[in-house]
Amino acid sequence: MRSLRIRAGAWLLPLLLVACGGGGDDAPSYSSVVTFGDSLSDVGTYRTAGMAALGGGKFTVNDGDIWVELVAKDRGLTPPCAAEIGLESSGAVASLAQASSFQDACFGYAQGGARVTNPIGPNNKALLLLGSPDGQYGQLTVPVATQVARHLAKVGGRFSGGELVLVLAGGNDVFMNLAAVGAAQITPTDAVVAMATAGGELAAYVRSQLVGNGARHVVVVNLPDVSQTPFAYSLAAPTQGLIAQMSIAFNVSLANG
């Protein structure tokens, strides 16, 4: 993997590029944008009728474009739309629920709460079984591994080679492993190891399932340092340090994969 920067409007985003292609004004033209990941790349998976009525359903501010949409527009492409729309809400937020619908012409697979391989992310309904009321939100949290499999099934098993594929994940693996440490289900060391494993898994998916199936222009973004977020700053210093270790472990495995 080699580092580069792609210009999107007036801002720069550090990226890693796998396979062929490059950034800047001499970058090749692309046929479409395909996205895999979590809330940072989710273009509207949870914009159900009930959620939209409240002005929600997308992880942004004032309905502004997120990075995958900005990159698409910068390259002169139509921004991706959500490949799946739905919520499995219950309890106090049951009115937001909507059975999943799949959009054949949409290639924005990223979902809020998604992890790399584990299907249970933040706000997934399965958390109700563990006694967490957060499960009432019923986020689908389809993992990246399944997102990729769904795309391949939709397009006959191979990429055309003209797509610009954007990948960003790992944050929800941090949150879920950190919660497990807090519940004394795993040790801090276990959490760091789990993050390293997740980073390696993502690298393997990129090489075998994306590049190995014909994707030529693949951008993989490092996991941002979650220890430098307002969430982490609200925690004790040792916990913030653990989050930093988890983020580093993920990125090292991702880069070495």
Q: Which residues of the chain have pLDDT under 50?
A: 1-24
Q: In terms of CATH architecture, what is 2-256?
A: 3-Layer(aba) Sandwich (3.40)
What is the pLDDT at residue 127? 97
pLDDT value, residue 63? 84
pLDDT one-digit tens code per residue, 111-125 = 999 999 999 999 999
Measured CA angle at 108 (ends 165, 115), to 5 deg: 85
Phi, psi of 165 (to 5 degrees): -100, 125
Q: Quote the crossing angle between the two packed helices 171-182 and 237-256, to the nearest 10°.
A: 140
**Secondary structure (3-state) at 229:** coil
Cβ-contact 36, 109 below 8 angstroms: yes
The pLDDT assigned to 27 comes to 58
Count Cα neighbours of 246 within 13 Å in the Cβ-side half-sphere: 29
- pLDDT number for residue 203: 98
Within 8 A by CB and 6+ apart from 23, the residues are 4, 5, 6, 7, 15, 17
| pTM for the predicted model, two decimal places | 0.90
* pLDDT on residue 61: 85
